[in-house]
Amino acid sequence: MTFRVMACGSHGVLALPAEGPVLGAEADLLDLMGEAMGRGSTWIAAPAERLGPDFFRLETRLAGTIAQKLVNYRLGLAVVGDVSALTAKSRALRDWVYESNRGRHVWFMPDLEALAARLSAL
């Protein structure tokens, strides 16, 4: 898999390309966490379209499991792209996106530029 590592302030961001396989299982995201740590990155930027549907269906608990592992390993995940169609269908997801954006480990960002600006401001 091809990655790009970006410097955003004091943070390294492992940015995934828009093209590529869907990250639909916990193991896929754990592999990314290992890749990020191996490259000295503290954040992973994943295009929303690369995340499988189970990530956005909170009842599967995939997103919560990943969020907990991110906290444990002191990493962040930025879901990059428009998730408004998904949040329009699920109040629980909409609330989680809102709360996540107030936190430190999972953010939903419109694009990489917005992520870079937020990380650089920290």
Domain harbouring 44, CATH code: 3.30.750
The pLDDT tens digits for 58-92 are: 999 999 999 999 999 999 999 999 999 999 999 99
47 part of a folded domain: yes
Average pLDDT, the chain: 93
121 part of a folded domain: no
Domain span holding position 94:
4-110
CA-based torsion, 113, 82, 30, 106: positive or negative:
positive
12 part of a folded domain: yes
Q: CB burial class (10 A; 0-12, 13-18, 19+) of residue 10?
A: exposed
Q: Could you give the number of structural domains in the chain? A: 1
122 part of a folded domain: no
119 part of a folded domain: no
Predicted TM-score (pTM) of the model is 0.92
61 part of a folded domain: yes
Query: What element of type H or E holds 16?
Result: none
